[in-house]
A and B are shown apart, each in its own frame.
Chain A
């Protein structure tokens, strides 16, 4: 059964003069999931977010959000149900935190008065910014501004949260708190779309990823499924003080490929579930084992594998765990850049 989509963008192209910011972009954001838009600067991630809120309309293609056209007459309703944190916090420096949040509360239909103030206090408390609300935003640190922008984005309890580099400028503790909050939101049924170029941040958070380049989607799907496409087998690195003994694994029925280098061997198999059987086989032959490390491709490995496949970066396909295991040389200078925002 196909998942219900909160955002369904099909074949959207958007140009700014000679610059093509989005080119035949397809985006399917499932309801209640965290989708991460990954890509280098200028890949079109910010334009995609603006397209989703209807702040920009497509030149070609269709865009549906909650089943409505955000650039059409239903745009107001779409934007009312979206919470947006842009790459720059987009706050009024001359006003204090209260006034910034009250402005949003009124524009998003929460209204004024005690009920609105209570909601503001709650949202501010989520990001530990409530004690600074009386101060002018111009005096806030970058991290405080980001937290205030985050508080503003959840003020009206949006169904879709659009976050453009939300942890930019945050200290590690605050960044972690934000990521935890994002995870918490989807458990309440909300949908999150997050743009980032910090792959570590997306790792473990993204239910779905979309890798973008030059305004188009190179690949989209669940990280686990995409990983399977690029690395059909799984690997384990086994080390021993008697490395020759490891060669016994070469003929093991569950081993697909075997390669020994130094005191370690890299073993390919269908699944990591085979590891206990391999360890048992070595033990039966009295081969001393000094280390067993299952190698799993990180999101970074996957990201570069996808970009490499499309010629965006040079180099060989990294082995699983390439970024943490074997270093992979990637020539970033060859990566094309786009002028899109």
Chain B
């Protein structure tokens, strides 16, 4: 495999994405909403102007978290404990939802988009190997989502630490489990979803169809987000590590199988190749 060509494919796709303000404009808004605006408003309300009644209600709700997770909740005041629990266990799943939304949106259009725009003909007739095209497009789909998460996660950390930090004795986020989640668990899950989305993108007739179908594929990540929210993945230290290892294995297999879905006839969009 020629990595220069692979990175060229990725770079060109990313260049086009940067030029598409109509695409990344809403994505920036989405990221800002989930990582900055909503957490700021909700955490400020809870820690600064929360009423005793509503805080007690939220605290009771937090009792559904596993016992070992509840032990991790820091803070001595109800405001602090509630804010901490919300920041770590309940709001943080956006770190999964946002990259998922962005990467699937990019990935779903990537191969069928070449076909729809007629540029698939150029790629199909070029010396680039289909494996190089597949991996290049995978990188171009993965990076925007993951970069948004990295930047958004940084901003979310600042928001959380500024709003909840004073209530729990200083800056506390990201927690150790969150580093594991972001660096070890999230990437393979994202890769699994993207390998499936790219396979879809190669096989369907239109971008719209790819985007519809990719909604189903994102279920594994939704489950991951659910696991996070209920504290299962952030509870015992070994759970995310094992889950991440399994996910990496599945991701590698899925990526390997995904390569076969990209063929020159599919880039051309000829009937027999679909």
Contact, CB under 8 Å: A82 / B270: no
Bound CA span A107–B12, Å: 11
Known: A56-B265, A94-B20. A84 touches B8 (CB 8 A): no
Task: Tell whether, in the assembled complex, residue B268 and residue A55 are in contact, meaning their CB atoms are under 8 Å apart.
Answer: yes
Kindly identify which residue among A53, A54, A92, A109 contacts B119, using a CB–CB cutoff of 8 Å: A92
Tell whether, in the assembled complex, residue A94 and residue B19 are in contact, meaning their CB atoms are under 8 Å apart.
yes
Within B256-274, the residues touching A (CB, 8 Å) are 264-265, 267-268, 270-273
Is A258 interfacial (CB 8 A cutoff)? no
Contact B270 A103 (CB under 8 A): no
Q: In this assembly, does A19 line the interface, its C-beta being within 8 Å of a C-beta of chain B?
A: yes
Asked if B16 and A94 sit within 8 Å, CB to CB, the answer is: yes
The answer to whether B16 and A50 touch across the interface, beta carbons within 8 angstroms, is no
Chain B residues within 8 Å of A162, by CB: 125
- Interface readout for A63-80 with B: 1 if CB under 8 Å, 0 if not? 000000000000011011
Q: Which residues of A contact B15 (CB under 8 A)?
A: 94-95, 99
- Known interface pairs A17-B272, A19-B271, A55-B124. Does A107 touch B8 (Cβ–Cβ under 8 Å)? yes
Instruction: Closest B residue to A341 by CB, please name it.
Output: B270
Q: In the complex, how many residues of chain B place their beta carbon closer than 8 angstroms to a beta carbon of chain A?
A: 29
Please measure, in the bound complex, the distance between the C-alpha atom of A77 and the C-alpha atom of B129, giving whole angstroms.
Answer: 11
Interface residues of A in 202-231 (CB under 8 A from B): none
Question: Is A106 interfacial (CB 8 A cutoff)?
Answer: yes
Binary per-residue interface labels of chain B (19-37) against chain A in the complex, 1 for a CB within 8 Å, 0 otherwise: 1100000000000000000
Q: Are A92 and B16 in contact (CB under 8 A)?
A: yes
Contact residues, B219-274 vs A (CB, 8 A):
264-265, 267-268, 270-273
In the bound complex, do residue B5 and residue A107 qualify as a contact, i.e. CB atoms below 8 Å apart?
yes
**Distance A92 CA – B267 CA, assembled complex (angstroms):** 15
Find the residue from A21, A94, A136, A341 having the highest chain B CB count within 10 A. A94
Tell me the chain B residues, 106-142 only, with Cβ under 8 Å from chain A: 117-122, 124-129
Q: In the assembled complex, which residues on chain A have CB atoms less than 8 Å from the CB atom of B124?
A: 50, 53, 55
Secondary structure dominating the interface of B? helix
Cβ of A106: which chain B residues have Cβ within 8 Å of it?
4-5, 8
Main secondary structure of the interface of A (DSSP, over half): mixed
Contacts of A127 in B (CB 8 A): none
Q: Is the CB of A107 within 8 A of B127?
A: yes
In the bound complex, what is the Cα–Cα distance between A95 and B16 (angstroms)? 6
Nearest CB on A from B119, distance (A): 5
- Does A88 reach chain B (CB closer than 8 Å)? yes
A91 at interface (Cβ–Cβ under 8 A)? yes
A104 to chain B, nearest CB (A): 8
Q: Are A82 and B125 interface neighbours, CB within 8 A?
A: yes
Please give the distance in Å from B133's CB to the nearest CB on chain A: 10
A329 within 8 A of B: no
Contact B271 A16 (CB under 8 A): yes
Contact check: which of A21, A84, A94 meets B125 at CB < 8 Å?
A: A84
What is the 8 Å Cβ interface bit string for chain B, positions 64-83, against chain A (1 contact, 0 not)?
00000000000000000000
- CB pair B270–A79 under 8 Å, yes or no, is no
Min CB gap A195→B, angstroms: 13
Identify which of A53, A55, A86 gathers the most chain B CB atoms within 10 Å of its CB. Answer: A55
Residues of A with C-beta under 8 A to B127: 76-77, 79-80, 107-109
Residue of B nearest to A47 (CB): B270
- Additional A-B contacts beyond A56-B268, A86-B121 (5; CB < 8 A): A53-B125, A56-B264, A86-B122, A92-B119, A107-B127
A-B CB contact pairs (8 Å), 8 listed: A16-B272, A56-B264, A77-B127, A93-B117, A95-B15, A95-B16, A104-B122, A106-B4
Question: Which A residues are closer than 8 A to B by beta carbons?
Answer: 15-17, 19, 21, 47, 50, 53-56, 76-77, 79-80, 82, 84, 86, 88-95, 99, 103-104, 106-109, 136, 162, 341
